[in-house]
Structure 1
Protein backbone atom coordinates (compact mmCIF):
# COMPACT_ATOMS: atom_id res chain seq x y z
CA UNK A 1 0.00 0.00 0.00
CA UNK A 2 1.34 3.39 -0.95
CA UNK A 3 2.03 5.81 1.89
CA UNK A 4 1.09 8.92 -0.07
CA UNK A 5 -2.41 10.28 0.50
CA UNK A 6 -2.87 12.42 -2.61
CA UNK A 7 -1.79 12.30 -6.25
CA UNK A 8 -1.63 15.56 -8.18
CA UNK A 9 -1.46 15.37 -11.96
CA UNK A 10 -0.38 17.87 -14.54
CA UNK A 11 -2.73 17.57 -17.50
CA UNK A 12 -1.01 18.20 -20.82
CA UNK A 13 1.45 15.45 -21.67
CA UNK A 14 0.68 13.39 -18.55
CA UNK A 15 -2.99 12.43 -18.79
CA UNK A 16 -4.06 13.82 -22.15
CA UNK A 17 -2.48 14.20 -25.54
CA UNK A 18 -2.90 17.95 -25.92
CA UNK A 19 0.76 18.97 -25.93
CA UNK A 20 0.85 18.64 -29.72
CA UNK A 21 -2.05 21.08 -30.06
CA UNK A 22 -0.26 23.66 -27.95
CA UNK A 23 2.76 23.28 -30.22
CA UNK A 24 0.65 23.62 -33.37
CA UNK A 25 -1.00 26.80 -32.04
CA UNK A 26 2.26 28.40 -30.84
CA UNK A 27 4.04 27.52 -34.07
CA UNK A 28 1.16 29.02 -36.06
CA UNK A 29 1.52 32.22 -34.05
CA UNK A 30 5.30 32.25 -34.37
CA UNK A 31 4.97 31.86 -38.14
CA UNK A 32 2.78 34.97 -38.29
CA UNK A 33 5.61 36.84 -36.54
CA UNK A 34 8.30 35.34 -38.82
CA UNK A 35 9.85 33.59 -35.82
CA UNK A 36 11.37 30.15 -36.32
CA UNK A 37 9.90 27.95 -33.58
CA UNK A 38 10.91 24.28 -33.34
CA UNK A 39 9.79 21.27 -31.30
CA UNK A 40 13.02 21.65 -29.34
CA UNK A 41 12.08 25.25 -28.51
CA UNK A 42 8.67 23.96 -27.46
CA UNK A 43 10.24 22.01 -24.57
CA UNK A 44 10.82 25.35 -22.84
CA UNK A 45 7.07 26.01 -22.86
CA UNK A 46 5.99 22.89 -20.99
CA UNK A 47 4.36 23.65 -17.65
CA UNK A 48 4.55 27.41 -18.24
CA UNK A 49 1.54 29.76 -18.39
CA UNK A 50 0.38 31.38 -21.61
CA UNK A 51 1.94 34.84 -21.23
CA UNK A 52 5.30 33.40 -20.17
CA UNK A 53 5.18 31.08 -23.20
CA UNK A 54 4.63 34.08 -25.45
CA UNK A 55 7.55 35.90 -23.82
CA UNK A 56 9.80 32.91 -24.51
CA UNK A 57 8.78 32.82 -28.19
CA UNK A 58 9.34 36.57 -28.57
CA UNK A 59 12.74 36.16 -26.91
CA UNK A 60 13.62 33.40 -29.39
CA UNK A 61 12.72 35.71 -32.25
CA UNK A 62 14.31 38.80 -30.73
CA UNK A 63 10.95 40.56 -30.93
CA UNK A 64 9.73 43.21 -28.48
CA UNK A 65 6.02 44.04 -28.26
CA UNK A 66 3.79 46.13 -26.03
CA UNK A 67 1.54 44.62 -23.36
CA UNK A 68 -1.69 45.20 -25.30
CA UNK A 69 -0.40 43.51 -28.45
CA UNK A 70 0.91 40.60 -26.40
CA UNK A 71 -2.51 40.06 -24.82
CA UNK A 72 -4.10 40.03 -28.28
CA UNK A 73 -1.55 37.48 -29.55
CA UNK A 74 -2.00 35.24 -26.51
CA UNK A 75 -5.77 35.27 -27.04
CA UNK A 76 -5.30 34.47 -30.73
CA UNK A 77 -3.14 31.47 -29.81
CA UNK A 78 -5.71 30.27 -27.29
CA UNK A 79 -8.52 30.52 -29.83
CA UNK A 80 -6.52 28.38 -32.26
CA UNK A 81 -5.76 25.88 -29.49
CA UNK A 82 -9.44 25.64 -28.57
CA UNK A 83 -10.24 24.97 -32.23
CA UNK A 84 -7.79 22.06 -32.19
CA UNK A 85 -9.18 20.51 -28.99
CA UNK A 86 -12.84 21.10 -29.80
CA UNK A 87 -13.36 17.55 -31.05
CA UNK A 88 -11.38 15.79 -28.32
CA UNK A 89 -12.94 12.72 -26.71
CA UNK A 90 -11.78 9.77 -24.60
CA UNK A 91 -9.34 8.82 -27.36
CA UNK A 92 -7.34 11.89 -26.33
CA UNK A 93 -6.35 10.23 -23.05
CA UNK A 94 -2.81 8.93 -22.93
CA UNK A 95 -2.33 5.19 -22.54
CA UNK A 96 -2.71 3.96 -18.97
CA UNK A 97 -3.85 7.29 -17.54
CA UNK A 98 -7.48 6.51 -16.75
CA UNK A 99 -6.69 3.04 -15.44
CA UNK A 100 -4.01 4.35 -13.08
CA UNK A 101 -6.29 7.06 -11.67
CA UNK A 102 -9.02 4.50 -10.96
CA UNK A 103 -6.46 2.25 -9.28
CA UNK A 104 -5.46 5.11 -6.99
CA UNK A 105 -9.10 5.90 -6.20
CA UNK A 106 -9.75 2.25 -5.31
CA UNK A 107 -6.97 2.49 -2.72
CA UNK A 108 -8.39 5.63 -1.14
CA UNK A 109 -5.86 8.05 -2.63
CA UNK A 110 -7.18 11.56 -3.25
CA UNK A 111 -6.65 12.91 -6.77
CA UNK A 112 -6.17 16.41 -8.12
CA UNK A 113 -5.28 18.28 -11.28
CA UNK A 114 -2.59 20.96 -11.00
CA UNK A 115 -2.31 22.52 -14.43
CA UNK A 116 -1.32 25.83 -15.97
CA UNK A 117 -4.00 25.29 -18.61
CA UNK A 118 -7.02 27.58 -18.50
CA UNK A 119 -8.86 24.98 -20.58
CA UNK A 120 -8.32 22.12 -18.12
CA UNK A 121 -11.97 21.62 -17.13
CA UNK A 122 -13.13 21.64 -20.74
CA UNK A 123 -10.52 19.03 -21.67
CA UNK A 124 -11.36 16.83 -18.66
CA UNK A 125 -15.04 17.03 -19.56
CA UNK A 126 -14.48 16.13 -23.22
CA UNK A 127 -12.28 13.16 -22.31
CA UNK A 128 -14.79 11.93 -19.72
CA UNK A 129 -12.60 11.90 -16.62
CA UNK A 130 -13.52 15.13 -14.82
CA UNK A 131 -15.48 13.21 -12.14
CA UNK A 132 -12.34 11.24 -11.21
CA UNK A 133 -10.75 14.25 -9.48
CA UNK A 134 -11.45 15.56 -6.00
CA UNK A 135 -9.87 18.93 -6.79
CA UNK A 136 -9.03 20.79 -10.02
CA UNK A 137 -6.67 23.76 -9.90
CA UNK A 138 -6.04 25.36 -13.28
CA UNK A 139 -4.55 28.50 -14.77
CA UNK A 140 -7.65 30.51 -13.86
CA UNK A 141 -7.02 29.95 -10.16
CA UNK A 142 -3.34 30.85 -9.70
CA UNK A 143 -1.20 33.93 -10.23
CA UNK A 144 2.24 32.37 -10.51
CA UNK A 145 3.43 29.94 -13.16
CA UNK A 146 5.53 26.85 -12.52
CA UNK A 147 8.29 26.54 -11.31
CA UNK A 148 6.53 28.55 -8.62
CA UNK A 149 4.83 25.95 -6.36
CA UNK A 150 1.54 27.88 -6.03
CA UNK A 151 -0.59 25.49 -8.11
CA UNK A 152 0.50 22.44 -6.13
CA UNK A 153 0.29 24.15 -2.75
CA UNK A 154 -3.26 25.18 -3.61
CA UNK A 155 -4.14 21.59 -4.53
CA UNK A 156 -2.83 20.31 -1.19
CA UNK A 157 -4.71 23.02 0.72
CA UNK A 158 -7.98 22.23 -1.04
CA UNK A 159 -7.46 18.52 -0.41
CA UNK A 160 -6.63 19.30 3.22
CA UNK A 161 -3.44 17.22 2.92
CA UNK A 162 0.11 18.18 3.93
CA UNK A 163 2.63 18.52 1.11
CA UNK A 164 4.77 15.63 2.33
CA UNK A 165 1.85 13.26 1.71
CA UNK A 166 1.44 14.34 -1.93
CA UNK A 167 3.06 13.00 -5.07
CA UNK A 168 3.06 15.02 -8.30
CA UNK A 169 3.04 13.54 -11.81
CA UNK A 170 4.67 15.91 -14.31
CA UNK A 171 6.19 15.97 -17.79
CA UNK A 172 8.15 19.22 -17.52
CA UNK A 173 11.25 20.49 -15.72
CA UNK A 174 9.29 23.49 -14.48
CA UNK A 175 6.62 21.21 -13.03
CA UNK A 176 9.11 18.96 -11.25
CA UNK A 177 10.84 22.04 -9.80
CA UNK A 178 7.48 23.43 -8.64
CA UNK A 179 6.53 20.18 -6.91
CA UNK A 180 9.88 19.95 -5.17
CA UNK A 181 9.56 23.57 -4.05
CA UNK A 182 6.21 22.61 -2.54
CA UNK A 183 7.88 19.78 -0.61
CA UNK A 184 6.20 17.00 -2.60
CA UNK A 185 7.45 13.74 -4.09
CA UNK A 186 7.74 13.72 -7.87
CA UNK A 187 7.14 11.31 -10.74
CA UNK A 188 8.36 12.36 -14.16
CA UNK A 189 6.44 11.13 -17.21
CA UNK A 190 8.58 11.33 -20.32
CA UNK A 191 12.27 11.78 -21.06
CA UNK A 192 14.81 10.80 -18.40
CA UNK A 193 17.19 13.40 -19.80
CA UNK A 194 14.67 16.21 -19.33
CA UNK A 195 13.15 14.98 -16.05
CA UNK A 196 16.33 13.87 -14.30
CA UNK A 197 15.44 15.77 -11.10
CA UNK A 198 12.30 13.67 -10.50
CA UNK A 199 12.25 11.00 -7.79
CA UNK A 200 10.93 8.45 -10.29
CA UNK A 201 10.81 8.60 -14.08
CA UNK A 202 8.59 6.57 -16.41
CA UNK A 203 8.17 6.83 -20.16
CA UNK A 204 4.37 6.82 -19.85
CA UNK A 205 1.55 6.12 -17.40
CA UNK A 206 1.39 2.46 -18.47
CA UNK A 207 4.73 1.89 -16.77
CA UNK A 208 3.77 3.37 -13.40
CA UNK A 209 3.15 0.79 -10.70
CA UNK A 210 2.00 0.99 -7.10
CA UNK A 211 3.35 1.39 -4.52
CA UNK A 212 5.75 4.18 -5.47
CA UNK A 213 6.78 5.49 -2.05
Structure 2
Protein backbone atom coordinates (compact mmCIF):
# COMPACT_ATOMS: atom_id res chain seq x y z
CA UNK A 1 0.00 0.00 0.00
CA UNK A 2 1.17 3.53 -0.80
CA UNK A 3 2.84 5.41 2.04
CA UNK A 4 1.05 8.67 2.80
CA UNK A 5 2.35 9.59 6.26
CA UNK A 6 5.65 9.62 8.15
CA UNK A 7 5.79 9.18 11.92
CA UNK A 8 9.02 10.18 13.62
CA UNK A 9 10.51 9.33 16.96
CA UNK A 10 12.31 12.37 18.39
CA UNK A 11 15.40 11.44 20.38
CA UNK A 12 18.09 9.88 18.21
CA UNK A 13 16.15 10.40 14.97
CA UNK A 14 15.56 14.14 14.59
CA UNK A 15 17.67 15.49 17.45
CA UNK A 16 20.07 13.96 19.93
CA UNK A 17 18.86 14.63 23.44
CA UNK A 18 20.26 11.36 24.77
CA UNK A 19 23.25 13.19 26.27
CA UNK A 20 20.90 15.41 28.31
CA UNK A 21 18.86 12.44 29.54
CA UNK A 22 22.11 10.73 30.49
CA UNK A 23 23.44 13.77 32.37
CA UNK A 24 20.15 14.26 34.26
CA UNK A 25 19.77 10.59 35.20
CA UNK A 26 23.44 10.43 36.23
CA UNK A 27 22.95 13.52 38.41
CA UNK A 28 19.95 11.83 40.04
CA UNK A 29 21.77 8.52 40.59
CA UNK A 30 24.77 10.34 42.06
CA UNK A 31 22.48 12.26 44.42
CA UNK A 32 21.17 8.89 45.64
CA UNK A 33 24.67 7.55 46.25
CA UNK A 34 25.46 5.40 43.21
CA UNK A 35 26.70 5.82 39.66
CA UNK A 36 24.96 5.49 36.29
CA UNK A 37 26.81 4.48 33.14
CA UNK A 38 26.38 5.23 29.43
CA UNK A 39 25.80 1.50 28.85
CA UNK A 40 22.88 1.57 31.29
CA UNK A 41 21.57 4.72 29.59
CA UNK A 42 21.38 2.81 26.29
CA UNK A 43 18.92 0.42 27.92
CA UNK A 44 16.53 3.29 28.63
CA UNK A 45 16.04 4.23 24.96
CA UNK A 46 12.39 4.55 24.02
CA UNK A 47 10.88 3.79 27.44
CA UNK A 48 8.95 6.10 29.74
CA UNK A 49 10.35 8.27 32.52
CA UNK A 50 8.83 6.20 35.35
CA UNK A 51 9.96 2.91 33.83
CA UNK A 52 13.44 4.39 33.41
CA UNK A 53 13.44 5.43 37.07
CA UNK A 54 12.38 1.94 38.16
CA UNK A 55 15.32 0.44 36.27
CA UNK A 56 17.78 2.95 37.74
CA UNK A 57 16.54 2.36 41.29
CA UNK A 58 16.87 -1.37 40.68
CA UNK A 59 20.46 -0.92 39.51
CA UNK A 60 21.13 1.13 42.64
CA UNK A 61 19.39 -1.56 44.76
CA UNK A 62 17.03 1.04 46.21
CA UNK A 63 13.36 0.78 47.14
CA UNK A 64 11.22 3.92 47.02
CA UNK A 65 7.52 4.60 47.63
CA UNK A 66 5.31 5.77 44.79
CA UNK A 67 5.36 9.30 46.22
CA UNK A 68 9.15 9.29 46.41
CA UNK A 69 9.38 8.01 42.84
CA UNK A 70 7.19 10.85 41.58
CA UNK A 71 9.39 13.36 43.41
CA UNK A 72 12.58 11.84 41.99
CA UNK A 73 11.20 11.73 38.43
CA UNK A 74 10.11 15.36 38.77
CA UNK A 75 13.57 16.38 39.96
CA UNK A 76 15.24 14.58 37.05
CA UNK A 77 12.86 16.23 34.60
CA UNK A 78 13.55 19.70 36.02
CA UNK A 79 17.28 19.18 35.47
CA UNK A 80 16.65 17.80 31.98
CA UNK A 81 14.33 20.67 30.96
CA UNK A 82 16.88 23.24 32.16
CA UNK A 83 19.40 21.61 29.80
CA UNK A 84 17.15 21.29 26.73
CA UNK A 85 15.94 24.88 27.07
CA UNK A 86 19.46 25.80 25.98
CA UNK A 87 19.22 23.71 22.78
CA UNK A 88 19.63 25.37 19.37
CA UNK A 89 18.91 24.36 15.74
CA UNK A 90 22.60 23.39 15.52
CA UNK A 91 21.74 20.25 17.52
CA UNK A 92 19.35 18.88 14.88
CA UNK A 93 20.77 15.66 13.46
CA UNK A 94 22.35 15.44 10.02
CA UNK A 95 19.89 15.48 7.12
CA UNK A 96 16.80 16.13 9.25
CA UNK A 97 15.75 19.56 7.94
CA UNK A 98 16.35 18.67 4.29
CA UNK A 99 14.41 15.40 4.55
CA UNK A 100 11.47 16.93 6.46
CA UNK A 101 11.34 19.77 3.93
CA UNK A 102 11.31 17.38 0.96
CA UNK A 103 8.57 15.08 2.30
CA UNK A 104 6.47 18.06 3.42
CA UNK A 105 6.73 19.56 -0.07
CA UNK A 106 5.85 16.16 -1.59
CA UNK A 107 2.57 16.11 0.32
CA UNK A 108 3.31 13.52 3.00
CA UNK A 109 1.57 14.02 6.35
CA UNK A 110 4.01 14.20 9.25
CA UNK A 111 3.56 13.28 12.92
CA UNK A 112 5.77 12.92 15.96
CA UNK A 113 5.56 9.68 17.94
CA UNK A 114 7.69 10.06 21.05
CA UNK A 115 7.67 8.96 24.68
CA UNK A 116 9.07 12.38 25.64
CA UNK A 117 6.85 14.72 27.64
CA UNK A 118 9.09 17.60 26.61
CA UNK A 119 8.78 17.27 22.84
CA UNK A 120 7.12 20.68 22.39
CA UNK A 121 10.06 22.47 24.03
CA UNK A 122 12.59 20.55 21.94
CA UNK A 123 10.77 21.13 18.64
CA UNK A 124 10.43 24.81 19.45
CA UNK A 125 14.07 25.30 20.47
CA UNK A 126 15.31 23.48 17.33
CA UNK A 127 12.89 25.19 14.90
CA UNK A 128 11.28 21.89 13.81
CA UNK A 129 7.73 22.38 15.12
CA UNK A 130 6.32 23.80 11.87
CA UNK A 131 6.93 20.54 10.00
CA UNK A 132 4.43 18.53 12.08
CA UNK A 133 0.73 18.01 11.40
CA UNK A 134 0.29 16.13 14.68
CA UNK A 135 2.31 15.59 17.84
CA UNK A 136 1.85 12.45 19.91
CA UNK A 137 4.06 12.30 22.97
CA UNK A 138 4.12 11.25 26.61
CA UNK A 139 1.47 13.86 27.43
CA UNK A 140 -1.05 12.18 25.12
CA UNK A 141 -0.39 8.46 25.57
CA UNK A 142 0.28 6.33 28.63
CA UNK A 143 1.85 3.17 27.26
CA UNK A 144 5.56 2.94 26.47
CA UNK A 145 6.99 1.41 23.32
CA UNK A 146 7.04 -1.45 22.30
CA UNK A 147 3.31 -0.92 22.85
CA UNK A 148 2.06 0.53 19.53
CA UNK A 149 -0.24 3.13 21.15
CA UNK A 150 1.90 6.15 20.23
CA UNK A 151 1.99 5.27 16.52
CA UNK A 152 -1.64 4.17 16.30
CA UNK A 153 -2.66 7.48 17.87
CA UNK A 154 -0.49 9.31 15.33
CA UNK A 155 -2.19 7.52 12.45
CA UNK A 156 -5.58 8.33 13.95
CA UNK A 157 -4.80 12.05 14.27
CA UNK A 158 -3.54 12.15 10.68
CA UNK A 159 -6.61 10.27 9.44
CA UNK A 160 -4.47 7.47 8.01
CA UNK A 161 -4.60 3.68 8.05
CA UNK A 162 -1.68 1.94 9.77
CA UNK A 163 -0.58 0.47 6.43
CA UNK A 164 -0.22 4.00 5.00
CA UNK A 165 2.25 5.05 7.72
CA UNK A 166 6.04 4.78 7.79
CA UNK A 167 7.80 4.95 11.15
CA UNK A 168 11.32 6.36 11.70
CA UNK A 169 12.97 4.93 14.83
CA UNK A 170 16.40 4.43 16.39
CA UNK A 171 15.37 2.04 19.19
CA UNK A 172 14.53 -1.67 19.11
CA UNK A 173 11.42 -1.00 21.21
CA UNK A 174 10.29 1.60 18.68
CA UNK A 175 10.72 -0.72 15.71
CA UNK A 176 8.77 -3.40 17.58
CA UNK A 177 6.01 -0.86 18.27
CA UNK A 178 5.84 -0.03 14.55
CA UNK A 179 5.63 -3.71 13.66
CA UNK A 180 2.89 -4.29 16.22
CA UNK A 181 0.99 -1.31 14.79
CA UNK A 182 1.16 -2.90 11.33
CA UNK A 183 3.41 -0.17 9.95
CA UNK A 184 6.58 -0.28 7.86
CA UNK A 185 9.66 1.20 9.47
CA UNK A 186 13.00 2.88 8.81
CA UNK A 187 15.62 2.09 11.42
CA UNK A 188 18.08 4.89 12.12
CA UNK A 189 21.33 3.31 13.25
CA UNK A 190 22.90 -0.12 12.91
CA UNK A 191 21.42 -2.93 10.77
CA UNK A 192 22.93 -5.42 13.24
CA UNK A 193 20.83 -3.91 16.05
CA UNK A 194 17.62 -2.87 14.28
CA UNK A 195 17.08 -6.23 12.64
CA UNK A 196 13.27 -6.03 12.57
CA UNK A 197 13.10 -2.72 10.65
CA UNK A 198 11.94 -2.71 7.02
CA UNK A 199 15.14 -0.87 6.05
CA UNK A 200 18.00 0.65 8.07
CA UNK A 201 20.03 3.80 7.32
CA UNK A 202 22.69 5.70 9.23
CA UNK A 203 20.71 8.95 9.36
CA UNK A 204 18.05 10.91 7.48
CA UNK A 205 20.64 12.38 5.09
CA UNK A 206 20.66 8.96 3.36
CA UNK A 207 16.97 9.22 2.44
CA UNK A 208 14.89 11.01 -0.20
CA UNK A 209 11.30 11.04 -1.44
CA UNK A 210 12.43 8.50 -4.07
CA UNK A 211 13.25 6.03 -1.28
CA UNK A 212 9.73 6.42 0.10
CA UNK A 213 8.28 5.64 -3.33
CA UNK A 214 10.41 2.48 -3.43
CA UNK A 215 9.02 1.46 -0.02
CA UNK A 216 5.44 1.63 -1.32
CA UNK A 217 6.05 -1.87 -2.69
CA UNK A 218 7.64 -3.36 0.45
TM-score range, shorter chain: over 0.9
Q: How does 1:174-213 map to 2 (within 5 A)?
A: 174-209=173-208, 210-212=210-212, 213=215
Tell me whether 1:86 sits opposite 2:75 in the alignment.
no
Count residues with an aligned counterpart. Answer: 212
**Is the partner of 1:48 in helix, strand or coil?**
coil
How do 1:54-65 and structure 2 match up within 5 A? Answer: 54-65=53-64
Which residue of structure 1 aligns with residue 135 of structure 2? 136
Alignment-derived partner of residue 29 in structure 1: 28
Separation in 1, partners of 2:34, 2:203? 32
| Residues 98-107 or 202-211, more deviating | 202-211
Segment drifting more, 130-139 vs 190-199: 190-199
Separation of aligned partners in 1, 2:105 and 2:187: 23
Deviations 1:128-172 (A, max 9, x none): 110111100110000111111111000000000000110100111
TM-superposed deviation, 1:27: 1.1
User: Structure 2 CA distance, aligned partners of 1:36 and 1:88?
Assistant: 26
Partner of 2:156: 157
| Inter-CA distance 194–3: structure 2 relative to 1 (3 Å threshold) | same
Normalising by structure 2, report the TM-score.
0.93
> How many Å separate the matches in 2 of 1:123 and 1:184?
26
Q: Counterparts of 1:2-81 in structure 2 under 5 Å?
A: 3-81=2-80
Q: Distance in 1 between matches of 2:9 and 2:58?
A: 26
Cα deviation for residue 192 of structure 1 reads 2.5
Q: Structure 2 unaligned segments of length 5 or more: list them.
A: none
In 2: Cα distance, 1:31 partner to 1:99 partner: 40
SS at match of 2:46: coil
Q: Which runs of 5+ in 1 are unaligned?
A: none
Which whole-Å deviations, capped at 9, do the CAs of 1:32-66 have from their partners, x for residues lacking one?
12233211111111111100110111122222111
Aligned-partner Cα distance in 2 for 1:39–1:55:
17
| TM-score of the two chains, using structure 1 as the length reference | 0.96
Partners of 2:5 and 2:111 in 1: CA distance:
8
Moved over 6 A (4+): none
